[in-house]
């Protein structure tokens, strides 16, 4: 039997990259970016580690009415792209949490380079045992993080716990589609032992059982397919850019990208955007 600790270690190893800080800085220079005057948009090709990139972040944030008084938790923050965008765009305070200590370190360094370290902080931790007091956050945000989390019920119970009454959870997730088993490797897993996808119906049931009210639920699988087709066309005509997700995915990048497209085209995975709310008096 594989323990949760072993699974967490395997997930961390999947995302681990040697000298990630230097790799990113060198790629920024190669892309013509001025390290002394970095802008948030300069980092978008690498720090939005999810399908449709920055556009998906903007689209989800548009539904939320975020303001500068909000306390936001970004679960599975990766390199901090979404957390920095939210802080920069809305002036809110954001705490990013990720299982990977490497990602948290790089996220903090990049945020400092952009002068956002007064609004954004990062913490290594487990999403199924959130290291925060009850009722700490107005908004919990997560994008493409739950695929590596086996105990979905515990995850959403923890999200409920740290949300204030009438606080919301905004998510953009990869789910299991009706087309069969996933082709591996994919960006979140090289093989099935660290991949835990639920169907849309299963996720709705877990959220409802936890007590969440469903405010928004939309399937954006077609948008994901179209985005990948555009990306494939761009790479075919211009080649792989020096600043891109291959820096995070390593030598498996092309195979992972190919399988991601295939999984979408064959309905083996689906994409949803959703906003749910913890009921109660604010």
At 61-70, the pLDDT tens digits run 998 999 999 9
* Consecutive H or E run containing 165: strand 163-176
Enter the tokens of residue 225.
Answer: 């397919």
Q: Is the model's pTM score more than 0.85?
A: yes
Where do the structural domains in the chain lie, given as residue ranges? 4-277
Residue 104 CA to residue 122 CA, distance in Å, equals 6
Greatest CA separation for the chain = 54
Q: Which of 102, 46, 92 is nearest to 72 (CA)?
A: 92
In this model, does residue 44 exceed pLDDT 60? yes
At 74-99, the pLDDT tens digits run 999 999 999 999 999 999 999 999 99
**What is the CATH number assigned to the segment(s) 4-277?**
3.40.50.150
In this model, does residue 3 exceed pLDDT 60? no
Which positions ≥6 away from 159 have C-beta within 8 Å? 75, 130, 140, 169
């Amino acid at each position: 039997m594989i323990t949760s600790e072993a699974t967490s270690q395997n997930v961390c190893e999947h995302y681990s990259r040697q000298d990630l800080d230097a790799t990113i800085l060198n790629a920024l220079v190669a892309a013509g970016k001025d390290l002394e005057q970095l802008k948030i948009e300069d980092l978008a090709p690498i720090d939005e580690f999810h399908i449709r990139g920055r556009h998906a972040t903007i689209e989800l944030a548009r539904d939320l009415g975020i303001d500068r008084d909000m306390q936001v938790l970004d679960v599975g923050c990766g390199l901090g792209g979404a957390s920095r965008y939210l802080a920069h765009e809305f002036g809110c305070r954001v705490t990013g949490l990720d299982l990977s200590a490497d990602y948290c370190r790089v996220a903090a360094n990049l945020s400092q380079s952009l002068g956002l370290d007064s609004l954004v902080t990062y913490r290594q931790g487990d999403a199924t045992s959130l290291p925060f007091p009850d009722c700490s956050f107005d908004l919990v945000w997560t994008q493409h993080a739950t695929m590596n989390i086996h105990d979905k019920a515990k995850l959403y119970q923890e999200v409920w716990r740290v949300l204030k009454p009438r606080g919301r959870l905004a998510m953009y997730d990869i789910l299991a589609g009706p087309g069969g088993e996933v082709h591996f490797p994919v960006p979140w897993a090289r093989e099935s032992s660290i991949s835990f996808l639920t169907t849309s119906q299963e996720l709705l049931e877990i959220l409802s059982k936890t007590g969440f009210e469903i405010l928004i639920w939309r399937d954006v699988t077609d948008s994901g397919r179209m985005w990948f087709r555009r990306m494939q066309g761009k790479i075919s005509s211009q080649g792989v850019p020096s600043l891109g997700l291959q820096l995070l995915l390593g030598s498996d990048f092309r195979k992972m990208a190919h399988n991601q497209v295939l999984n979408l085209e064959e309905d083996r995975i689906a994409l949803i955007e959703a906003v749910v709310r913890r009921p109660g008096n604010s």
